[in-house]
Amino acid sequence: MEKKTVRQTTVLCISISSSLKSLLNDTGNLPVELEEKAAELQLNITGPQIWVYDGSDGNPNTRFELTIAVPVDKTNGDPGKFRFAEFPEFACVSEIHRGQWSRLGETYGKLMPYIMRQGLSYTGISREIYQVCDFEKPENCVTEVQIEVK
């Protein structure tokens, strides 16, 4: 676990309302469409996909805002149903999760007590950065979990 500050990032993104229970149905093909739009607009993707959870509390039925984003080198052209945004600088506690996404809760379960012990405050926003996505062998996935703190 580490406390760090992530620099401001230019992204192509889309925000939707979702819940942990309905996440897969709500997101559908959006992650692929987002990367296709970046290619169509001739944008260079500068890092892995970032999913931002605003208001998720771990309860499967709680609705929250999910933003799916790809970092890009510039804003250019008509993004259609997507939009360009600047993710602000982000102070967080971070941990690398190795393995299946269905076990991400274990990583969050380690981070939250650590945040409390350090006297930090959780803002309600977390990010997942999908560094390695292996749909055929999910145990090979590598995801950085970042929880914003003050």
Please name each of the domains of the chain with its CATH number: 2-149 (3.20.80.10)
Q: Rounded mean pLDDT of 89-117? A: 95
Average pLDDT score, the chain: 96
Is pTM beyond 0.75? Reply is yes
Q: Rounded mean pLDDT of 22-46? A: 97
Q: Rounded mean pLDDT of 119-125? A: 94
Give, in order, the Cα–Cα distances in Å from 13 to each of 9, 66, 70, 108, 146.
Answer: 12, 10, 6, 24, 18
pLDDT at residue 78 in the model: 97
pLDDT at residue 12 in the model: 98
Q: Rounded mean pLDDT of 72-89? A: 97
Alpha helices in the chain (DSSP H): 23-27, 30-40, 104-117
